[in-house]
Amino acid sequence: MDSGEKLIKAHRALTGLSLPGFSLIEILVAIAIVALMATQVPRLTRVNYNRQEKLVSNLNMLARNACTHALLSGKITQLFFDFSATPARVSIRQETDKKEGAHQKTVFDPVSSPTGNDSFIWDDSLKIERFIIEGKDEAAGGNLKTVWIYIMPDGIAQQATLTVRDDHTQQVSQFQLNPFFVQFRVL
């Protein structure tokens, strides 16, 4: 036995340790901490993703219904955002001709859908930072009350991009409307 082995044997005898390394309890505690962290991180990111997914789903459902109304009626349809209402709503409106005396005036009236998919309530924690329609920022100046996107009778919509900030997470997301498919996507 060399002097190194004698020194290790003496150290083990004095400290009471038989082998160097971690105990079973230390390993289990480390595994429990890693497992706890692994379960919490996806939950935090899922909340943000679910909010985005829900908004895109609601916008797409309404955009498809507005496009269907435009195609079937042969009239211009609006995807109407009303941020002045409490709670804020997004709905479908359709072109209607009204007579005022000798003049004919075009107005947009709310559309009711047999399926009930003609509006949704805007989540008040989502704030519009920019609302660009055909290159013009409708939210410039910070006082956005109402804004709409036209969908033509041939099913083509105006080009639009929304920049939305989530007050809960401070995450900023952009949603773009494809004018030919009348469908929103996350940028």
Copy the structure tokens of residue 131.
Answer: 């609302």
pLDDT at position 179: 92
Average pLDDT over residues 148-153: 92
pLDDT exceeds cutoff 90 at 166: no
For residues 186 and 164, what is the distance between their CA atoms, to the nearest angstrom?
11
Instruction: Specify the 3-state DSSP secondary structure of 111.
Output: coil
pLDDT in tens, 173-184: 899 999 999 999
pLDDT at position 95: 84
Q: What is the pTM of this model?
A: 0.69
pLDDT exceeds cutoff 80 at 163: yes
For residues 110 and 120, what is the distance between their CA atoms, to the nearest angstrom?
13
Sheet (strand 136-137) strand order = 136-137, 126-133, 160-166, 172-178, 183-186
pLDDT in tens, 71-120: 988 999 999 989 888 788 888 888 887 766 667 777 888 887 766 778 88
pLDDT at position 160: 95
Residue 162 pLDDT grade (very low, low, confident, very high; cuts 50, 70, 90): very high
pLDDT exceeds cutoff 60 at 45: no
58 contacts 90 by C-beta, under 8 angstroms: yes
Sorted by where each begins, the domain ranges of the chain are: 22-186
pLDDT exceeds cutoff 80 at 61: yes
Fold of 22-186: minor pseudopilin epsh fold (3.55.40)
pLDDT at position 131: 93
Partners of residue 80 on adjacent β-strands: 91, 148
